[in-house]
């Protein structure tokens, strides 16, 4: 196992170097969403609904929603000033009886392992806690947050359980459906007690299995063996980078500057430019407009328009044209 934290367990003047390990692991099967049409995993993007575009992490700030629609922005440096100072100590503040700690306060469980040379003080603390029947209440900093914890015995090791703070436990008074005083006969109570006694046995965790997860694993294994419902992620086409886009723009500009005079400027740029843009960007352009110039038929000018498309008439939808200064522009067709 890989340790999550290294420091020291301290009480009084005793200092015990230890490593912290996660005592539990998530064995649940997690699913991902695929696009059923092509089998590609779905990505979730950070999109601003006002700007109608995806935003980068550099554009994000944290905020607390005070009231619906009103946020209090909190800067990262302000949070850093409030965080507890980094500490490498699990400081025991009290020893209490285990029966006094309700399990509802339990959060996550970890193992504490002594560092090299710390076996004796580690064993001494464990033996003393076993003889007194006490557990230790401690505080330490984990992931930039001060944690309340309980150090207790677990077999030959010391285990650490992070605890919820009192305000994190919901009060039972919030439950409106709890029964009040209910009249129960002595016979009913005796039968219930007898049934509990009959079903009582030593607690053996290995007797209990997650039957749903096991059945799910078997189903997935059968599908894999039979090659049923196996979706393969298709190869994605490379997205042109900044350099490719600049090369495409330069090719368009050269096409505009080099077109023969006396031709339909819009049509000529549309055909020559499309081919050069595709070649510069490394994209294979399809269709008649992307074929070599030797195979193209010269476009016929529209009725009522000059053969010089840059001088008269409106450009065709989607055509690339230049103004008098040689700047590129494009008219988008209506959907």
Q: Which CATH class is domain 5-25+83-166?
A: mainly beta
Phi, psi of 121 (to 5 degrees): -65, -30
The pLDDT score that the predictor gives to residue 183 is 92
SS3 of the chain: helix, strand, coil, percent, to 5: 30, 25, 45
How is the chain split into domains, by residue range? Answer: 5-25+83-166, 242-330
- Give CA–CA dist 314/308, Å, rounded: 11
DSSP letters spanning 18-31? EEEEES--------
Placement of tokens 């074929």 in the chain = 291
Q: How buried is 178 (Cβ within 10 angstroms: 0-12 exposed, 13-18 middle, 19+ buried)?
A: exposed
Residue pLDDT tens, the chain, 335 long: 899 999 999 988 889 999 999 999 988 899 999 998 888 999 888 999 999 999 999 999 999 999 998 999 999 999 888 888 778 899 999 999 999 999 999 999 999 999 999 999 999 999 999 999 999 999 999 888 899 999 999 999 999 999 999 999 999 988 988 888 899 999 999 999 999 999 999 999 899 888 888 899 989 898 888 877 777 777 766 655 556 666 776 777 777 777 665 555 445 545 554 555 455 445 444 444 444 444 444 444 444 444 444 444 444 444 444 444 444 444 444 43
Cα–Cα dist 151/23, whole Å = 13
């Amino acid at each position: 196992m890989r340790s999550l934290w290294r420091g020291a367990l301290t009480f009084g003047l005793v200092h015990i170097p230890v490593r912290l390990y996660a005592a539990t692991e998530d064995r649940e099967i997690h699913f991902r969403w695929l696009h059923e049409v092509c089998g590609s995993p779905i990505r979730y993007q950070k999109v601003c609904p006002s700007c109608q575009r995806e935003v980068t992490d550099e554009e994000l700030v944290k905020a607390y929603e005070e009231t619906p629609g009103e946020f209090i922005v909190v800067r990262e440096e302000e949070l850093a000033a409030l965080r507890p100072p980094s500490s490498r100590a699990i400081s025991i503040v009290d020893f209490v009886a285990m029966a006094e700690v309700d399990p509802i306060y339990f959060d996550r469980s970890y193992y504490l392992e002594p560092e090299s040379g710390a076996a004796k003080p580690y064993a001494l603390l464990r033996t003393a806690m076993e003889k007194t029947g006490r557990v230790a209440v401690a505080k330490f900093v984990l992931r930039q947050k001060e944690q309340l914890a309980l150090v207790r015995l677990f077999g030959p090791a010391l285990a650490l359980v992070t605890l919820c703070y009192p305000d994190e436990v919901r009060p039972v008074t919030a439950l409106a459906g709890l029964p009040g005083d209910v009249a129960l006969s002595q016979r009913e109570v005796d039968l219930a007690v007898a049934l509990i006694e009959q079903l009582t046995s030593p607690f053996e965790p290995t007797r209990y299995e997650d039957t749903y997860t096991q059945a799910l694993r078997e189903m997935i294994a059968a599908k894999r063996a039979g090659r049923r419902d196996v979706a393969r992620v298709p190869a994605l086409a490379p997205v042109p980078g900044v350099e490719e886009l600049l090369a495409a723009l330069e090719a368009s500009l050269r096409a505009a500057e080099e077109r023969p005079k006396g031709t339909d400027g819009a049509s000529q740029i549309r055909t020559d430019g499309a081919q050069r843009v595709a070649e510069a960007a490394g994209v294979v352009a399809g269709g008649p407009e992307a074929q070599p110039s030797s195979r193209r038929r010269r476009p016929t000018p529209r009725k009522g328009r000059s053969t010089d498309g840059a001088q008269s008439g409106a450009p065709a939808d989607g055509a690339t044209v230049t103004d008098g200064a040689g700047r590129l522009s494009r008219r988008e067709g209506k959907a």
